[in-house]
Amino acid sequence: MISRRIIRTKVLQMLYAYYTSTDKSLNNTEKELFFCIRKSYDLYHYLLALIIDLADYAEQRIEIRRNKHQPTQDDLHPNTKFISNEVIQQLRQNRQLNAYLKQTKLSWVNNPGLIKELYQFLTEADFYKAYMADPNRSFLDDRKFVDKVFNNIILLTEELHEVLEEQSIYWNDDAEFTISMISKTLKKFHPHSDTDQSLMPLFKDEDDREFAKDLLRKTIINHDELRTLIKEHSSNWDMDRIAFMDILIMQLAMTEFIYFPSIPTKVSMNEYIEISKFYSTEKSRNFINGILDKTLKDLKKTDKINKSGRGLIGEA
Protein backbone atom coordinates (compact mmCIF):
# COMPACT_ATOMS: atom_id res chain seq x y z
CA MET A 1 0.00 0.00 0.00
CA ILE A 2 2.72 2.47 0.95
CA SER A 3 4.16 3.96 -2.24
CA ARG A 4 7.80 4.93 -2.68
CA ARG A 5 6.81 8.61 -2.64
CA ILE A 6 5.09 8.20 0.72
CA ILE A 7 8.15 6.36 2.00
CA ARG A 8 10.34 9.25 0.87
CA THR A 9 8.01 11.74 2.56
CA LYS A 10 7.97 9.78 5.82
CA VAL A 11 11.77 9.52 5.79
CA LEU A 12 11.97 13.30 5.23
CA GLN A 13 9.74 13.87 8.25
CA MET A 14 11.81 11.51 10.39
CA LEU A 15 15.05 13.22 9.32
CA TYR A 16 13.65 16.56 10.38
CA ALA A 17 12.64 15.08 13.75
CA TYR A 18 16.07 13.44 14.13
CA TYR A 19 18.07 16.63 13.56
CA THR A 20 15.80 18.84 15.66
CA SER A 21 15.73 16.41 18.60
CA THR A 22 18.25 15.82 21.35
CA ASP A 23 17.85 12.08 20.76
CA LYS A 24 20.35 11.14 18.06
CA SER A 25 19.70 7.40 18.20
CA LEU A 26 19.53 5.96 14.68
CA ASN A 27 17.80 2.83 15.96
CA ASN A 28 15.09 4.84 17.71
CA THR A 29 14.56 6.98 14.61
CA GLU A 30 14.22 3.87 12.47
CA LYS A 31 11.63 2.45 14.88
CA GLU A 32 9.76 5.75 14.73
CA LEU A 33 9.83 5.64 10.92
CA PHE A 34 8.21 2.23 10.77
CA PHE A 35 5.72 3.22 13.46
CA CYS A 36 4.81 6.26 11.36
CA ILE A 37 4.35 4.07 8.28
CA ARG A 38 2.24 1.61 10.27
CA LYS A 39 -0.04 4.48 11.35
CA SER A 40 -0.79 5.16 7.67
CA TYR A 41 -1.86 1.54 7.38
CA ASP A 42 -4.06 2.00 10.45
CA LEU A 43 -5.76 4.93 8.72
CA TYR A 44 -6.39 2.80 5.63
CA HIS A 45 -8.41 0.29 7.70
CA TYR A 46 -9.97 3.00 9.84
CA LEU A 47 -11.44 4.78 6.82
CA LEU A 48 -12.66 1.51 5.31
CA ALA A 49 -14.57 1.00 8.57
CA LEU A 50 -16.08 4.48 8.24
CA ILE A 51 -18.22 3.63 5.21
CA ILE A 52 -19.68 0.70 7.18
CA ASP A 53 -20.51 2.98 10.10
CA LEU A 54 -22.20 5.41 7.73
CA ALA A 55 -24.40 2.60 6.42
CA ASP A 56 -25.15 1.52 10.00
CA TYR A 57 -26.20 5.07 10.88
CA ALA A 58 -28.48 5.18 7.82
CA GLU A 59 -30.08 1.89 8.89
CA GLN A 60 -30.64 3.20 12.42
CA ARG A 61 -32.45 6.23 11.01
CA ILE A 62 -34.65 3.97 8.90
CA GLU A 63 -35.59 1.94 12.00
CA ILE A 64 -36.36 5.09 14.00
CA ARG A 65 -38.71 6.35 11.28
CA ARG A 66 -40.28 2.92 10.90
CA ASN A 67 -41.08 2.79 14.62
CA LYS A 68 -42.62 6.25 14.83
CA HIS A 69 -46.03 6.53 16.45
CA GLN A 70 -47.58 7.36 13.09
CA PRO A 71 -45.18 6.26 10.35
CA THR A 72 -45.82 7.37 6.79
CA GLN A 73 -45.80 5.08 3.78
CA ASP A 74 -42.21 6.19 3.06
CA ASP A 75 -41.27 5.38 6.66
CA LEU A 76 -42.71 1.88 6.33
CA HIS A 77 -41.28 1.28 2.87
CA PRO A 78 -37.89 3.03 2.89
CA ASN A 79 -35.27 3.10 0.16
CA THR A 80 -32.63 0.64 1.40
CA LYS A 81 -30.31 0.85 -1.58
CA PHE A 82 -27.49 2.49 0.39
CA ILE A 83 -27.60 0.17 3.40
CA SER A 84 -27.76 -2.91 1.18
CA ASN A 85 -24.93 -1.77 -1.09
CA GLU A 86 -23.06 -4.95 -2.08
CA VAL A 87 -19.56 -3.53 -1.68
CA ILE A 88 -20.33 -2.23 1.80
CA GLN A 89 -21.67 -5.66 2.71
CA GLN A 90 -18.47 -7.27 1.42
CA LEU A 91 -16.37 -4.88 3.49
CA ARG A 92 -18.56 -5.58 6.53
CA GLN A 93 -17.80 -9.30 6.25
CA ASN A 94 -14.15 -9.01 5.21
CA ARG A 95 -12.04 -11.12 7.56
CA GLN A 96 -8.82 -9.16 7.10
CA LEU A 97 -10.52 -5.83 7.80
CA ASN A 98 -12.36 -7.15 10.85
CA ALA A 99 -9.25 -8.83 12.26
CA TYR A 100 -7.18 -5.67 11.85
CA LEU A 101 -9.81 -3.44 13.44
CA LYS A 102 -10.17 -5.86 16.35
CA GLN A 103 -6.40 -6.10 16.87
CA THR A 104 -5.84 -2.32 16.76
CA LYS A 105 -9.12 -1.46 18.52
CA LEU A 106 -9.87 1.12 15.85
CA SER A 107 -13.48 2.28 16.06
CA TRP A 108 -15.66 5.29 15.29
CA VAL A 109 -17.90 4.61 18.28
CA ASN A 110 -16.72 7.76 20.05
CA ASN A 111 -17.46 10.01 17.07
CA PRO A 112 -21.25 9.91 16.61
CA GLY A 113 -21.33 13.63 15.75
CA LEU A 114 -18.91 13.11 12.86
CA ILE A 115 -20.91 10.16 11.52
CA LYS A 116 -24.07 12.27 11.62
CA GLU A 117 -22.42 15.19 9.79
CA LEU A 118 -20.91 12.96 7.12
CA TYR A 119 -24.29 11.32 6.56
CA GLN A 120 -25.97 14.72 6.21
CA PHE A 121 -23.36 15.83 3.67
CA LEU A 122 -23.82 12.56 1.82
CA THR A 123 -27.61 12.76 1.58
CA GLU A 124 -27.35 16.29 0.19
CA ALA A 125 -24.93 15.24 -2.57
CA ASP A 126 -26.28 15.02 -6.12
CA PHE A 127 -24.53 11.70 -6.79
CA TYR A 128 -26.26 10.20 -3.72
CA LYS A 129 -29.69 11.41 -4.84
CA ALA A 130 -29.11 10.04 -8.36
CA TYR A 131 -27.91 6.69 -7.00
CA MET A 132 -30.87 6.30 -4.64
CA ALA A 133 -33.41 7.36 -7.31
CA ASP A 134 -32.16 4.88 -9.92
CA PRO A 135 -34.36 1.75 -9.75
CA ASN A 136 -31.65 -0.28 -11.48
CA ARG A 137 -28.63 -1.53 -9.60
CA SER A 138 -25.50 -3.47 -10.38
CA PHE A 139 -22.34 -4.36 -8.53
CA LEU A 140 -20.42 -1.88 -10.67
CA ASP A 141 -22.85 0.90 -9.74
CA ASP A 142 -22.51 0.01 -6.06
CA ARG A 143 -18.72 0.08 -6.30
CA LYS A 144 -18.66 3.41 -8.14
CA PHE A 145 -20.98 4.87 -5.52
CA VAL A 146 -18.75 3.78 -2.61
CA ASP A 147 -15.71 5.23 -4.38
CA LYS A 148 -17.55 8.55 -4.78
CA VAL A 149 -18.43 8.57 -1.06
CA PHE A 150 -14.74 8.30 -0.22
CA ASN A 151 -13.52 10.87 -2.75
CA ASN A 152 -16.39 13.38 -2.69
CA ILE A 153 -17.54 13.24 0.92
CA ILE A 154 -15.03 11.61 3.26
CA LEU A 155 -11.93 13.17 1.68
CA LEU A 156 -13.40 16.67 1.43
CA THR A 157 -15.08 17.00 4.82
CA GLU A 158 -13.12 19.32 7.09
CA GLU A 159 -14.70 17.88 10.23
CA LEU A 160 -13.15 14.51 9.44
CA HIS A 161 -9.68 16.01 9.01
CA GLU A 162 -10.05 17.78 12.34
CA VAL A 163 -10.95 14.51 14.06
CA LEU A 164 -8.01 12.72 12.45
CA GLU A 165 -5.58 15.46 13.49
CA GLU A 166 -6.85 15.21 17.07
CA GLN A 167 -6.42 11.44 17.11
CA SER A 168 -2.94 11.18 15.60
CA ILE A 169 -0.21 13.59 14.51
CA TYR A 170 0.80 10.95 11.96
CA TRP A 171 -2.46 11.36 10.01
CA ASN A 172 -2.16 15.08 9.22
CA ASP A 173 -1.09 14.59 5.59
CA ASP A 174 -2.22 11.02 4.95
CA ALA A 175 -5.93 11.19 4.09
CA GLU A 176 -5.61 11.96 0.36
CA PHE A 177 -3.04 9.25 -0.26
CA THR A 178 -4.92 6.71 1.88
CA ILE A 179 -8.18 7.28 0.03
CA SER A 180 -6.37 6.86 -3.30
CA MET A 181 -5.26 3.45 -2.00
CA ILE A 182 -8.84 2.67 -0.97
CA SER A 183 -9.97 3.47 -4.51
CA LYS A 184 -7.42 0.97 -5.83
CA THR A 185 -8.60 -1.59 -3.29
CA LEU A 186 -12.26 -1.21 -4.32
CA LYS A 187 -11.37 -1.98 -7.94
CA LYS A 188 -10.26 -5.45 -6.83
CA PHE A 189 -13.69 -6.25 -5.40
CA HIS A 190 -16.05 -8.10 -7.71
CA PRO A 191 -19.51 -9.69 -7.43
CA HIS A 192 -18.07 -13.00 -6.23
CA SER A 193 -15.60 -11.60 -3.70
CA ASP A 194 -15.85 -13.56 -0.48
CA THR A 195 -14.83 -12.90 3.11
CA ASP A 196 -11.20 -13.61 2.22
CA GLN A 197 -10.98 -10.87 -0.42
CA SER A 198 -7.50 -9.43 0.10
CA LEU A 199 -6.83 -5.84 1.04
CA MET A 200 -3.56 -4.07 0.30
CA PRO A 201 -0.42 -5.18 2.16
CA LEU A 202 1.54 -2.59 4.15
CA PHE A 203 4.49 -2.75 1.74
CA LYS A 204 4.28 -3.86 -1.88
CA ASP A 205 7.26 -6.16 -1.26
CA GLU A 206 10.32 -6.59 0.95
CA ASP A 207 12.34 -4.30 -1.34
CA ASP A 208 10.16 -1.36 -0.33
CA ARG A 209 10.64 -2.12 3.36
CA GLU A 210 14.40 -2.26 2.86
CA PHE A 211 14.28 0.93 0.80
CA ALA A 212 12.67 2.81 3.71
CA LYS A 213 15.28 1.60 6.19
CA ASP A 214 18.28 2.13 3.88
CA LEU A 215 17.19 5.59 2.75
CA LEU A 216 16.96 6.80 6.33
CA ARG A 217 20.21 5.20 7.48
CA LYS A 218 22.33 6.12 4.47
CA THR A 219 21.21 9.74 4.53
CA ILE A 220 22.07 10.10 8.22
CA ILE A 221 25.36 8.18 8.02
CA ASN A 222 26.55 10.25 5.03
CA HIS A 223 25.25 13.55 6.37
CA ASP A 224 28.62 15.35 6.30
CA GLU A 225 29.46 14.27 2.76
CA LEU A 226 26.03 15.25 1.48
CA ARG A 227 26.14 18.62 3.23
CA THR A 228 29.55 19.29 1.64
CA LEU A 229 28.10 18.55 -1.81
CA ILE A 230 25.30 21.02 -1.21
CA LYS A 231 27.76 23.65 -0.03
CA GLU A 232 30.00 23.13 -3.08
CA HIS A 233 27.10 23.57 -5.49
CA SER A 234 25.47 26.50 -3.74
CA SER A 235 28.60 28.68 -3.57
CA ASN A 236 26.60 31.90 -3.83
CA TRP A 237 24.53 30.97 -0.79
CA ASP A 238 25.34 30.94 2.90
CA MET A 239 24.32 27.47 4.17
CA ASP A 240 22.70 29.10 7.19
CA ARG A 241 20.34 30.95 4.85
CA ILE A 242 19.11 27.79 3.12
CA ALA A 243 15.90 26.43 4.66
CA PHE A 244 16.68 23.33 6.69
CA MET A 245 13.87 21.33 5.05
CA ASP A 246 15.33 22.19 1.63
CA ILE A 247 18.71 20.86 2.74
CA LEU A 248 17.11 17.60 3.89
CA ILE A 249 15.25 17.19 0.60
CA MET A 250 18.49 17.65 -1.35
CA GLN A 251 20.37 15.25 0.91
CA LEU A 252 17.77 12.55 0.30
CA ALA A 253 17.95 13.05 -3.47
CA MET A 254 21.75 12.90 -3.41
CA THR A 255 21.65 9.76 -1.27
CA GLU A 256 19.60 8.07 -3.98
CA PHE A 257 21.91 9.39 -6.72
CA ILE A 258 24.99 7.89 -5.06
CA TYR A 259 23.91 4.96 -2.89
CA PHE A 260 20.92 3.40 -4.67
CA PRO A 261 22.23 1.88 -7.92
CA SER A 262 18.87 0.42 -8.97
CA ILE A 263 17.00 3.77 -8.92
CA PRO A 264 17.36 5.95 -12.05
CA THR A 265 18.62 9.45 -11.28
CA LYS A 266 15.73 10.92 -13.26
CA VAL A 267 13.25 9.15 -10.96
CA SER A 268 14.97 10.46 -7.81
CA MET A 269 15.16 13.97 -9.27
CA ASN A 270 11.48 14.05 -10.21
CA GLU A 271 10.34 12.54 -6.91
CA TYR A 272 12.09 15.08 -4.72
CA ILE A 273 11.06 18.02 -6.87
CA GLU A 274 7.46 16.84 -6.42
CA ILE A 275 7.95 16.47 -2.66
CA SER A 276 9.43 19.98 -2.51
CA LYS A 277 6.12 21.33 -3.85
CA PHE A 278 4.53 20.41 -0.52
CA TYR A 279 7.43 21.20 1.82
CA SER A 280 9.06 24.24 0.22
CA THR A 281 8.17 27.60 -1.31
CA GLU A 282 8.11 28.14 -5.07
CA LYS A 283 11.50 29.91 -4.90
CA SER A 284 12.88 27.00 -2.88
CA ARG A 285 11.69 24.49 -5.48
CA ASN A 286 13.58 26.28 -8.23
CA PHE A 287 16.65 26.50 -5.98
CA ILE A 288 16.49 22.78 -5.12
CA ASN A 289 16.06 21.88 -8.78
CA GLY A 290 19.09 23.95 -9.77
CA ILE A 291 21.38 22.60 -7.03
CA LEU A 292 20.40 18.98 -7.67
CA ASP A 293 20.91 19.40 -11.40
CA LYS A 294 24.41 20.88 -10.97
CA THR A 295 25.35 18.27 -8.36
CA LEU A 296 24.18 15.40 -10.53
CA LYS A 297 26.19 16.61 -13.52
CA ASP A 298 29.36 16.88 -11.43
CA LEU A 299 28.81 13.48 -9.80
CA LYS A 300 28.54 11.93 -13.24
CA LYS A 301 31.71 13.66 -14.42
CA THR A 302 33.63 12.28 -11.44
CA ASP A 303 32.16 8.79 -11.90
CA LYS A 304 30.42 8.82 -8.54
CA ILE A 305 27.16 7.69 -10.10
CA ASN A 306 27.23 3.93 -10.59
CA LYS A 307 23.84 2.69 -11.69
CA SER A 308 22.97 -0.87 -12.62
CA GLY A 309 19.92 -2.84 -13.77
CA ARG A 310 16.81 -0.65 -13.77
CA GLY A 311 18.92 2.21 -12.47
CA LEU A 312 20.43 2.60 -15.95
CA ILE A 313 17.09 3.67 -17.42
CA GLY A 314 17.42 7.15 -18.89
CA GLU A 315 21.16 7.37 -18.19
CA ALA A 316 22.17 7.05 -21.82
pLDDT, one tens digit per residue, over 55-105 is 999 999 999 999 988 999 988 999 999 999 999 999 999 999 999 999 999
124: pLDDT strictly greater than 70: yes
**Residues shown for the chain:** 316
Report the 10 Å Cβ neighbour count for 126. 8
pLDDT, one tens digit per residue, over 292-304 is 999 999 999 999 9
Q: How far apart are CA 160 and CA 27, in angstroms?
A: 34
Question: Measured between alpha carbons, how far is residue 31 from residues 27, 28, 200, 206, 216 in Å?
Answer: 6, 5, 22, 17, 11
Q: Which CATH architecture has domain 222-312?
A: Orthogonal Bundle (1.10)
pLDDT, one tens digit per residue, over 42-64 is 999 999 999 999 999 999 999 99
What's the sign of the alpha-carbon dihedral 75, 80, 83, 84?
A: positive
Q: Where are the domains of the chain?
A: 29-187, 222-312
**Which pTM value belongs to this model?**
0.92
pLDDT, one tens digit per residue, over 244-280 is 999 999 999 999 999 999 999 999 999 999 999 999 8
Model confidence band, residue 236 (pLDDT cutoffs 50, 70, 90): confident
